[in-house]
Structure 1
Amino acid sequence: MPERSSGWLRWLGLSAAVLAIDLATKAWASAALAPGEPVRVTGFFNLVLVHNTGAAFSFLAGAGGWQRWFFVGVTLAVSAVLLWLLRKDAANRLLALAYALVLGGAAGNLWDRLTLGKVVDFIQLHAAGYYWPAFNAADSAITLGVILLLWDGVRGARAGPDAPAGGSRTGK
């Protein structure tokens, strides 16, 4: 197999691992937790089973049902772009890692939307009476991937106008 093909397929394997972890943890949470009843783990961390028909922070959750297919379409379109970028930039470890994490997370939430019509969330962080909306492993992977993309962009911006577009293209 040519190096270019095998490189991006390895990153696709990471996306599959993120998907597997996400689906396994959601299955566990769905079986072990009662909906809406927090289980205190630490002073800042609860497990609580919630179902989100919207996007991040329950955006459009009460929109009446059409949002399910809207988010499915957006996820499929973004995933197609990520697959193309992953194949194109497979040699850049930072970018490929970021794309693979976002792709795996998107696949996990897409699976929920297609099979359940909603996304299973169960991780809740809180401090001083303030609660962050519940999230899942897919959301964590997406967030980490976006942080890495931003970091790559900042690194490229600091390198100056003669640096390759999109940050460091050397993968270092």
Structure 2
Amino acid sequence: MNADMKIEQLISIEAHLNELSDLLVQVVDEGASIGFLPPMKQSEAVDYWGSAMNPDLILYVAKIHGKIVGSVQLHLCSKQNGGHRAEIAKLMTHTGYRRNGIGRSLMLEAEQRAKQEGRTLLVLDTREGDPSNHLYTSLEYIQAGRIPEYAKSANGEFHPTIFYYKNTN
């Protein structure tokens, strides 16, 4: 892990809107499967981040020398029968900073917060074959299933996604 890295929770994104948008555009244009297709317009990223925050979302960012180089979202389930679970979503690491423990650090922070919130079941999904699959299994997430043709890529090809879960109690 990079000694200069700091993980912070963002309560408001206004002061970070441009950096978060730049990160989103960069990872999508490099092929990340996080709900968007390349090429991504800056205005699309700004629109996404402008409407992303809500009371059930906890957003963490990783910073190195004050620059945002990664983020992850923890979505707390607000349904009456789901107060024990949360979803981890949109784990992003800037391509210039990958393989330095940023994704792992963000995941561990999100998991710790989930425990503080009394969430004992975490779920997430990722495109089959992406490097993130190795990260999730190394963090003891269990594969729950595979859905073929779940996500479409920029070239129109469909890819399967893998759903994972982790009990934290």
* TM-score bin, normalised by smaller chain: under 0.3
Q: TM-score, normalised by structure 2?
A: 0.27
Q: Which has the larger radius of gyration?
A: 1
- Larger fraction in helix: 1
- Larger fraction in strand: 2
Structure possessing the higher relative contact order (Cα contacts under 8 Å, 6 or more residues apart): 1
